Amino acid sequence: MRNFMAAAFAVYVAVPVAAQDLPSLRMAAQLTGTVNRELQTILHRGLDTANGFDLELMDVSGSSAGQVAFQGGEADVIVSDWIRVARQRADGHDVQFLPYSKAVGGVMVLDDSPAQSLADLKGEQIGIAGGPVDKSWIILQALARKQGFDLAAETTQVFGAPPLIFKAALDGETAAAVNFWHFMAKQQVAGMRVLVSVADAAQELGLDPNTPLLGYAFHGETLREPPELIEGLAAASRAAKDILATDDAEWDRLRPIMNAGDDAEFAALRDGFRAGIPEPGPVDAADVAEVMAIMAELGGSELVGKATTLPEGVFAPLGY
Residues 13 and 94 in one domain: yes
Residues 161 and 98 in one domain: no
Residues 190 and 256 in one domain: no
Residues 83 and 221 in one domain: yes
Per-residue pLDDT at 129: 95
Residues 218 and 92 in one domain: yes
Q: Evaluate whether residue 313 is within a structural domain.
A: no
Q: Evaluate whether residue 49 is within a structural domain.
A: yes
Residues 80 and 112 in one domain: no
Residues 126 and 194 in one domain: yes
Share of the chain above pLDDT 90, in %: 84
pLDDT exceeds cutoff 80 at 4 = no
Per-residue pLDDT at 2: 34
Q: Is the CB of residue 70 less than 8 Å from the CB of residue 28?
A: yes
Tell me: the pLDDT tens digits for 31-52?
Answer: 999 999 999 999 999 999 999 9
Q: Evaluate whether residue 27 is within a structural domain.
A: yes
18 pLDDT tier (thresholds 50, 70, 90): low
Residues 96 and 113 in one domain: no
Q: Length of the chain in residues, anyone?
A: 320
Once rounded to an integer, what is the mean pLDDT over residues 272-296? Answer: 93
Residues 123 and 97 in one domain: no
Per-residue pLDDT at 292: 95
Residues 11 and 90 in one domain: yes
Q: Evaluate whether residue 11 is within a structural domain.
A: yes
Q: Evaluate whether residue 316 is within a structural domain.
A: no
Q: Say which range, 7-21, 89-103, 137-151, has the weakest mean pLDDT.
A: 7-21
Q: How many domains does the structure of the chain reveal? A: 2
Residues 198 and 273 in one domain: no
Sign of the CA dihedral running 146, 106, 132, 215: negative
Residues 199 and 216 in one domain: no
Q: Evaluate whether residue 319 is within a structural domain.
A: no
d(CA 68, CA 74): 8
H or E stretch covering 125: strand 125-129
103-136 b/e with 16+ CB inside 10 Å = b?
bbbbbbbbeebebeebeebeeeebbbbbeebbbb
d(CA 14, CA 297): 47
Q: Evaluate whether residue 311 is within a structural domain.
A: no
Tell me: the pLDDT tens digits for 220-244?
Answer: 999 887 778 999 999 999 999 999 9
Q: Evaluate whether residue 292 is within a structural domain.
A: yes
21 pLDDT tier (thresholds 50, 70, 90): confident
- Identify the three-state secondary structure at position 124: coil
Tell me: the pLDDT tens digits for 162-175?
Answer: 999 999 999 999 99
Q: What is the CATH number of the domain that holds 249?
A: 3.40.190.10
Q: What range defines the domain where residue 164 resides?
A: 106-204
